């Protein structure tokens, strides 16, 4: 008797919706037959990687015949001193995406419950569903901030994980120090909170939480950061988690031995020490946001003030159409429909000339 493949596959797999990545530049150029396309869709650093990271990569490339260090010894030592934590408080991943997956694999049994704000980063749902957990998406408040009271209101005995994206992707809003510490105080002790701080380095708000403090206080939190965003190493795939040594050693049990490649480890070490590049990148984004805010105001568009390197803006029109029209102008952004905001787009802050080109194109497309 013929066996149907779909009967062999875990039923959960059919509940998963594939991740929608930002459209790659090459694909747009190929499909539209145009050149000089710019991508302002995936919150990458438009200045590129740190020059020091590029140097380190050149040196390291001759050694790719050998396996990478499974323990990321040197990177952990430098990160620990950079962050003021212990090496035993760190886990390095193939992007922080991998750490999200490892956390889900470590903690979630089928039927456990997971809570996150919505709209937010889509990986929280993905990694949870793979483990057959039940996902509860709590809508953001009207001002696009995370509703921690509503999240607490959804905590039950089956609640295992809460994902807090801070700043939140796609809105760029933050949860403040006081709110977060009160929230953690109120949570039952058997709930683990993942603080995803992929855009940490861009934040300037004085009341942004010092989340490592919660780790040091022994709270059930894991802080996630990445080299993909401000450090400009998205293509190498490297991110890290910070938590108590007990949490880290549990997550380490499900980690593949060579999950972080040798080039990524070397580039990350070099990037970490390039404070010039970091400062230039921050400056670029701060100035870029000012310019974009002013332009949106001039065009009469509502936007969400952002603590990250992207802005969620209401175009007042079907964002899929705006997206397609911008694409024809050679500008790639993200549509808000996937986040439940069909007239919004999310645009990554680019270089001054990219920002100007985006605004010119948007003006043309909306008129």
Residue 109 is classified by DSSP as: P
The answer to whether 279 and 344 have CB atoms below 8 angstroms apart is no
Which of 163, 323 has the CB closer to ligand PLP? Answer: 163
Q: Which two tokens stand for residue 184?
A: 């953690």
173 near ligand PLP, rule: CB under 6 A: no
95 binds ligand PLP (CB under 6 A): yes
User: Taken in order 143, 148, 150, 151, is the CA torsion positive or negative?
Assistant: positive
Residue number with CB closer to ligand PLP (237 or 357): 237
Residue carrying the six token digits 């942004």: 208
Hey, how many other C-beta atoms are within 10 angstroms of the C-beta on 242? 26
Q: Does 50 bind ligand PLP (CB under 6 A)?
A: no
Q: Could you tell me which stretch among 9-17, 73-81, 94-102, 247-255 binds ligand PLP (CB under 6 A)?
A: 94-102
Residue whose beta carbon is closest to ligand PLP: 95
CB atoms within 10 A of CB 53: 27
Footprint of ligand PLP on 15-44 (CB under 6 A): 43
Q: Which residues neighbour 84 within 8 Å (Cβ) at sequence distance 6 or greater?
A: 212
- Identify the residue among 75, 97, 319, 362 touching ligand PLP (CB under 6 A): 97
**Structure-token match 């957990």, residue found:** 133
Work out how close the CB of 161 gets to ligand PLP at its nearest, in angstroms, rounded to a whole number.
15
The reply on whether position 165 binds ligand PLP by CB under 6 A is yes
* Binding of residue 46 to ligand PLP (CB under 6 A): no
Cβ of residue 96: shortest distance to ligand PLP, in angstroms? 4
- How far, in Å, CA of 169 to CA of 100, rounded? 15
Site for ligand PLP in 215-254 (CB under 6 A): 226, 228, 234, 239
* Residue 284 interacts with ligand PLP (CB under 6 A): yes or no: no
Q: Which residue has the tokens 């870029």?
A: 288
CB 311 within 8 A of CB 167: no
Q: Closest CB to ligand PLP among 233 and 327?
A: 233
What part of residues 119-158 is at the interface with ligand PLP (CB under 6 A)? 121
Whether omega for the bond prior to residue 119 falls within 30 degrees of 0, making it cis, is yes
Contact positions vs ligand PLP (CB under 6 A): 43, 95-97, 121, 165, 169, 196, 198, 226, 228, 234, 239
């Amino acid at each position: 008797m013929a066996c149907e493949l779909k009967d062999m596959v875990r039923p959960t797999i059919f509940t998963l919706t594939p991740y929608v990545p930002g459209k790659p530049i090459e694909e747009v150029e190929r499909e539209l037959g145009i050149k000089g396309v710019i991508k302002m869709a995936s919150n990458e650093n438009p200045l590129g990687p740190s020059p020091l990271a590029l140097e380190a990569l050149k040196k390291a490339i001759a050694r790719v015949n050998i396996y990478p260090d499974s323990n990321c010894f040197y990177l952990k030592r430098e990160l620990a001193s950079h962050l003021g934590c212990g090496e035993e408080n760190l886990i390095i991943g193939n992007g922080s995406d991998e750490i999200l997956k490892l956390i889900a694999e470590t903690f979630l049994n089928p039927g456990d419950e997971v809570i996150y704000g919505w709209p937010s980063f889509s990986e929280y749902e993905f990694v949870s569903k793979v483990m057959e957990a039940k996902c509860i998406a709590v809508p953001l408040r009207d001002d696009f901030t995370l509703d921690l009271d509503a999240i607490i209101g959804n905590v039950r005995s089956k609640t295992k994980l809460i994902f807090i994206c801070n700043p939140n992707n796609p809105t760029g809003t933050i949860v403040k120090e006081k709110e977060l510490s009160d929230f953690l105080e109120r949570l039952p002790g058997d709930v683990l909170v993942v603080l995803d701080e992929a855009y940490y380095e861009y934040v300037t708000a004085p009341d942004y939480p010092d989340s490592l403090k919660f780790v040091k206080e022994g709270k059930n939190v894991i802080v996630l950061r990445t080299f993909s965003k401000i450090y400009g190493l998205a293509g190498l795939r490297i991110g890290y988690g910070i938590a108590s040594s007990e949490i880290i050693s549990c997550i380490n049990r499900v980690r593949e031995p060579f999950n972080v490649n040798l080039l990524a480890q070397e580039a990350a070490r070099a990037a970490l020490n390039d404070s010039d590049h970091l400062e230039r990148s921050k400056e670029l984004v701060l100035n870029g946001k000012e310019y974009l805010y002013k332009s949106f105001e001039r065009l009469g568009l509502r936007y969400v003030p952002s603590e990250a390197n992207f802005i969620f803006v209401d175009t007042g029109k079907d964002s899929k159409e705006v997206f397609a029209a911008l694409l024809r102008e050679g500008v790639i952004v993200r549509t808000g429909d996937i986040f439940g905001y069909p007239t919004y787009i999310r645009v990554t802050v680019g270089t001054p000339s990219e920002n100007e080109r985006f605004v010119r194109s948007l003006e043309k497309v909306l008129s």
